[in-house]
Structure 1
């Protein structure tokens, strides 16, 4: 399975700039799955500061620290904390951790049989690339979004010489990170096609869906009292969005769509989360539909399924950018796993899965009038039909996107990479 010639467990180093206590549930799920399958896992990560760019209490941005997390050794290396609109701040944040992880995380990677890189941002791959050069440690890189396209699609840099230089440098680095990887995984079919088009051999790229945290993301009873706290009854139609309130989500379009529904006072929108756009969205909502748009702060993941169950429909929203046609937000898996119907206001793979799963509705992105029309149609849909959409979505999730459907693929890729790495290192010995 995942044992080498010495019959010991393969040692996997997870490399990720983000890790709990930050809201980085995917990295936690990956480590948990690998450990359950018998791998020995260590983590190389940064000082927690996401999503606000503020260092968490009890940590320092300037020191390398070692701690235990669920029995795993977690090494944290310094970084410049930032997660705002400043291109300079975000650049220094990414580059500072790339440098510190490569310089100060060597022992984790030197002792590993294989590294698993959560490559968002792509600069997180720097430490694994350095270890490959120094010790021959192979790595599998998980491409969560397409760089450098993703960074510019969200308005990171918009024009001029600075953008051209940054785009060229990031492009070269990204291509090199793919070439040096033992294998590349992607979370959506469209992204696989793009990476292959960029010159990565097809047999080196696999689709591994990012499964939900299935212990907590499953059908459950609604959160008691949520509707009453919002001033709603069971008869009101509640559309919920949960997640990052950032520029890429274009939630201003959703608020504009609510303005087209003034004749339906029973339709309410609830935004649960935090992010750089929250203040702007709050001000816009207060101006346009103060009584029908609600904001709640993020809650622990183990409470989210119950909060979701209190809504009638769940929103997935992305900007109308070519990049997002190959983007599959992780909230899709969570909504499907919970057996909830969804409204996808996004292009490409996200809308396709909604259609294939028969799990809800799709609306044109960045079109407030079109989105309002779909919300109006969903409101007119009988509740039992909405529940049937949610049940169909859960069945699709279990068949195609669950942990059981995907963890074996990842384990086999890591085992094979570790085996090849050991063989290569033995052959290089004098």
Structure 2
């Protein structure tokens, strides 16, 4: 593959380590390893608490070397709470400051790659394109403004005004981009319906930390199961992640609450969220439903290996049909079978990969049947589902595949600029 031109790539993203931003960090590292010269334009760290850590100041630009990459940080209003005005100020303040302080980096770069979450992160690249002709490629993580309004982030008259403004802004980010990469196939149809030329769109899946598919260590697995009061031969379905309304976990809790005790089926839910208290109430007194607090990422591998299958659940909303939760990639890469209660892209992937079962959101009878079907499989059959999933991940979602696709898009943008 061609080496990067002298100017290299400006990677524009609002969040970057030391914040818990493993996806943008992984993208920057993979592009650098592919031979590109990568410099990062990002914000002063404050996510997810809204608190700026020691060594940084919210209103002071800074430069540093991190993991071998040059990182330039520009000021912002630090916030990540439930206040819509403060969150919007956080997004807008960094968009403006990066557009002002980041032009030196962008002007000297051959191309910019914008990690488009939030969508306002594209402002600096849009200004650079207008001033210096620097092309940019968008990597859309979630569709704005749909995603923020689907979460109830903005409502009422303020929300209506904000939606009109964001619709105009986001449309301009697409028109100005040399190319628009999205993280799930459904986004292509959605953006094409909004006027983005199909030839300007392509899918580049996010990837996750990758390792070989390994059979679980039986001793550690038994130890974890014993801590939950679960037998070695029982079936364990695990969900790990946010317990919110969007995840629609109530039906699966009700299914397990109604299963006979001698079915040998257990549900383990790991994480926190606004819906957790209600879920615990629904499961009260049931010894087959287990709740755990969120655990560090590095501890999840051992817990996942103690499960027989992993659950992905999303409410039946149009936006979620074009959403690919990162846990899909994590489960596929771990070589575990999936039970997906969702429509759209996440279910399509599991069906294409032959990596598990899918049911319509909220369909309790289908959920019950799927749980019992997975529980009735032999361990070897479930393991085969997981291995098929890992094979599909390696072919379509892996770090090597994703970084190659981004590298190619960036090179083409540079070539078109020179032409």
TM-score, normalised by the number of residues in structure 1: 0.88
| Inter-CA distance 187–228: structure 2 relative to 1 (3 Å threshold) | same
Is the Cα–Cα contact under 8 Å of residues 254 and 282 in structure 2 kept in the other structure? no
| Inter-CA distance 178–218: structure 2 relative to 1 (3 Å threshold) | farther
Count of residues in Structure 1 that have an aligned counterpart in Structure 2:
414
RMSD: 2.5
Is residue 110 of structure 1 aligned with residue 107 of structure 2? yes
Partners of 2:57 and 2:278 lie apart in 1 by 33
**1:323-402 equivalent positions in 2, closer than 5 A:** 323-368=319-364, 370-402=366-398
Task: From 123, 134, 138, give the equivalent of 1:137.
Answer: 134
Partners of 1:46 and 1:227 lie apart in 2 by 42
Moved more, 204-213 or 166-175: 204-213
**Cross-structure match for 2:73:** 76
**Cross-structure match for 1:236:** 234
Task: From 10, 17, 37, give the equivalent of 1:13.
Answer: 10
Is the Cα–Cα contact under 8 Å of residues 316 and 332 in structure 1 kept in the other structure? yes
> 4+ residue runs of structure 1 moved beyond 6 angstroms?
none
Partners of 2:308 and 2:177 lie apart in 1 by 43
Moved more, 342-351 or 249-258: 249-258
Q: C-alpha displacement at 1:339, in angstroms?
A: 0.9
| Inter-CA distance 376–141: structure 2 relative to 1 (3 Å threshold) | same
Is the Cα–Cα contact under 8 Å of residues 102 and 130 in structure 1 kept in the other structure? yes
**Structure 1 stretches lacking a partner, 5+ long:** 424-430
Partners of 2:17 and 2:215 lie apart in 1 by 25
Cα deviations by residue, 1:181-229 (Å, 9 ceiling, x for unpaired): 0100012221111112211112111111222222x47445355532233
Moved more, 237-246 or 315-324: 237-246
Is the Cα–Cα contact under 8 Å of residues 219 and 305 in structure 1 kept in the other structure? no
Partners of 1:358 and 1:402 lie apart in 2 by 17
3-state SS of 2:374 partner = helix
Is the Cα–Cα contact under 8 Å of residues 255 and 367 in structure 2 kept in the other structure? yes
| Inter-CA distance 253–55: structure 2 relative to 1 (3 Å threshold) | farther
Is residue 281 of structure 1 aligned with residue 276 of structure 2? yes
3-state SS of 1:141 partner = strand
**1:208-287 equivalent positions in 2, closer than 5 A:** 208-214=204-210, 216=211, 218-219=213-214, 221-222=216-217, 225-261=223-259, 263=261, 266-273=264-271, 277=273, 280-282=275-277, 284-285=279-280
| Inter-CA distance 185–284: structure 2 relative to 1 (3 Å threshold) | same
Is residue 311 of structure 1 aligned with residue 307 of structure 2? yes
Is residue 174 of structure 1 aligned with residue 170 of structure 2? yes
Cα deviations by residue, 1:317-352 (Å, 9 ceiling, x for unpaired): 222111111111122112111111011111111111
TM-score, normalised by the number of residues in structure 2: 0.90
